[in-house]
Amino acid sequence: MEIQTPDWVKHAVFYQIFPDRFAKSKQERKRLHVNAPWEDWEAMPTLQGYKGGDLWGILEQLDYIQSLGINAIYFTPIFQSASNHRYHTHDYYQVDPMLGGNQAFRDLLDGAHERNIKVVLDGVFNHSSRGFFFFHDVLENGSYSPWLNWFKIEGWPLSAYNGDFPANYEGWGGNRALPVFNHDNPEVREYIMEIAEYWIKFGVDGWRLDVPFEIRTPGFWQEFRTRVKAVNPEAYIVGEVWGDSREWLDGTQFDGVMNYLFAGPTIAFAAGDRVVLEQVQSRDYKPYPPLFAAEYGQKIQELLQLYPWEIQLTQLNLLASHDTARLMTIAGEDIPSIELSTLLLLTFPGAPSIYYGDEVGLPGAIDPDSRRGFPLEANWDTEILNTHRQLITLRHTYPCLRTGDYQVLYAQGEIYIFARTLGSEELIIAVNAGTAEAKASLNAGKLQTQPSKILYGTASVEWNGDGESKQLTLNLPPRTGCILGVG
């Protein structure tokens, strides 16, 4: 079977936005709340408080997003919910009124599309919430409710709020706030398929699927793909699966997953023993223990061999998300760790995803702290911002960084060097993760050209010989990386 994935994703640089925390509209709008008790924007976030970010605020910041070189946005959930993260869905057809409602989303989607920025929504289809109309009916009417078979009821009475009694229904992760759907019920299945179709018809460019591995109903994700792609063949379907995802990446279900298998080794190599363990030990992606270049290269090669190439090119690669601590905090605020990780991210096959604020050095421990308000410009780290701008520009400039082959040339000690090649276009990317200046000599006979122009970073470059015996010698300053191209 020939695997087909959306072509635009191969050329996308994503920006992940948590809508309550990115921007508040500065313009006069008809609001649900005029004087709402929002948390202070700059204060540490809490589990349940709102900061009042809205979709109009994001619309007003599209010029900034575009100026970064971003051409795709992934939003964490935007539908009506009684939680700041909105994974507790009340109504899948209504954008949360606190975010501006459906009209604000219409305006934002149109504004993004005018700038050729794609928009992907978060689909929370494994579970709903206690406030979801159908479940609320069960709470009100008990065994008389017509929606009983939509959920996994285990006994009576239900206890949705009092933890002193058994819930008597299945909640995701044992959380009674999140009643799990009964996906074996054809009505539930059809309901979810119609939601997916509705928003694709509305104009969104894809779905990021929350905990899709929890849905085990045979054929569910295959039908989801068929129904979504029938509306828009170029719609992107990306699953939140943290580990080996071959089960879902066979070409009949998802186009990619959130590539935590890239994030873990990359941070472990670039940040090494600077990684603050208490910020990562409760998560599955394991950016520890520190890796040397050879170990990193081996993990990357294994990852690149795990899935078909067509799928590799539409993976959603990331270094941080709303479910992890931010890289700034994980790396103990070590700027070179961030810059080296970002270099490896933006030169890797697949679509890079930047978590809002990471591009300006926003810190944050594991959630809720990783969901801070986007910082005031006075608090931006301009060095990190310039690194992102440079690398995103280079990714857009050179097709080989998007769809070219990935070939490891050298991986010894703390020096890692690889080439991205597409036809006659060749770039060499080199990283010295060590704390001392380092020299590497390698055979580059498989390359057609001799990339020696420094497009990013600093290094001294020397070529000797020709043909299959040509040698490249690189001197790299400590804790730096570079990109070499043909002059």
Judged by phi (left if over 0) then psi (alpha if -120 to 50, else beta), residue 40 lies in: beta
Task: Report the alpha-carbon distance of residue 347 to residue 359 in Å, rounded.
Answer: 16
User: Is residue 466 flagged as an active site residue?
Assistant: no
Picking from 392, 404, 411, 390, the residue whose alpha carbon sits closest to that of residue 451 is 404
The answer to whether the CB of 336 falls within 8 A of the CB of 480 is yes
d(CA 163, CA 157): 13
**Helical residues (DSSP H) of 333-399, grouped into ranges:** 335-346, 382-397
CA distances to 7, 237, 243, 290 from 234, rounded to whole Å, are 7, 9, 25, 39
Q: Tell me the helix, strand and coil percentages in the chain, rounded to 5.
A: 35, 20, 45
Structure token digits, residue 442: 């390698």
Question: Is residue 210 annotated as a catalytic residue, yes or no?
Answer: yes
What letter would DSSP give residue 412?
A: E
| β-strands 14-17, 405-412 pairing | unpaired
* Spatial distance between the Cα atoms of 442 and 434, rounded to a whole number of angstroms: 18
Of 96, 205, 240, 323, the active-site residue reads 240
Which one of the listed residues 205, 210, 359, 414 is annotated catalytic? Answer: 210
Return d(Cα 22, Cα 34) in angstroms, integer: 19
Contact 451, 484 (CB under 8 A): yes
Q: Tell how far CA 368 is from the center of its chain.
A: 17
By annotation, the residues acting in catalysis are: 210, 240
